[in-house]
Amino acid sequence: MTATAKVTRIVWDMGDGKSVTCTTPGTPYRAEFGKQPSPDCGHRYTAPSSTASTGKYHVTATSTWTIDWQATTGQTGQLIETRQSAVDVTVVEVQVLN
């Protein structure tokens, strides 16, 4: 039997009342991007986490996995699996000086 699993979607609950759905791995940040928003999967907090009741944002990521399988007998199929992870993050204000 062979099986191939891929993440096909991640829904991020950012803890500030907003959510982001990503269907790609995202684009790693590079300095030349400057302050531009992510072209495919990003989020900017508009307030520090000190405004949240716990002082942190509770971020949850729910990933959807698509698993394609094939048995040695020739049978094939697909399974969908969902997983969830969470972390509390502190976001502070940063002032940039030119």
Asked whether residue 63 is assigned to any structural domain, the reply reads yes
CA-to-CA dists, residue 19 to 57, 62, 94, angstroms: 12, 11, 22
Cβ contacts of 55 within 8 Å, gap of 6 or more: 49, 90
Q: Which domain holds residue 60?
A: 2-89
Q: What pLDDT digit, counting tens, does each position of 9-33 carry?
A: 999 999 999 999 999 888 888 899 8
Which residue is listed with tokens 């990503």? 22
pLDDT digits (tens, 9 = 90+) for 80-92: 999 999 999 999 9
Q: 96 in a domain, yes or no?
A: no
39 against 6, higher pLDDT: 6
Q: Is the backbone of residue 74 left (phi > 0), alpha (psi -120 to 50) or beta?
A: left
User: Which amino acid is residue 22, in one-letter code?
Assistant: C
Do residues 57 and 43 make contact, with C-beta atoms less than 8 angstroms apart? Answer: no
Residue 49: pLDDT band (50, 70, 90) is: very high
Residue 11 lies inside a defined structural domain of this protein: yes
pTM (two decimals): 0.81
Is residue 43 in a domain? yes
Residue 53 has pLDDT above 60, yes or no: yes
Considering its fold, how many domains does the chain have in total? Answer: 1
Q: Quickly tell me which residue has 């949240």 as its tokens.
A: 52
**94 domain-assigned:** no
